[in-house]
Amino acid sequence: MPKSQPADQNNHKRFDGGGAEGRRQLMRYAGLSGQLAASVGVAVWLGIKADKWLKLSFPIFSLVVPLVVIVFFLVQIIKANSGKKDEK
């Protein structure tokens, strides 16, 4: 039975993750996702507190506040990645 050869010896390129630029982008988006998760969590908590404080029967703030936070983050991501570069 023939032995299997590692991928490097079969003329296949290994994926190196994009080098330093790839790691920088990974850390950027990992940080952004953590920030989004924390912000949505705080928004839900604040919405629940507002609904209880106002004694609302329907949890409108618990639904609307996190949606506003998510839309805000999406707008920020789109602005950051719009591709428009300042030419000096």
Cα–Cα distances in angstroms (integers) from residue 40 to residues 1, 15, 36, 65, in the given order: 56, 34, 6, 8
Give tens-digit pLDDT for 64-75. 999 999 999 999
Residue pair 50/64 in contact (Cβ under 8 Å)? The answer is no
Give mean pLDDT, residues 51-70. Answer: 94
Cα–Cα distances in angstroms (integers) from residue 49 to residues 15, 61, 69, in the given order: 48, 9, 16
The pLDDT, as a whole number, for residue 23 is 86
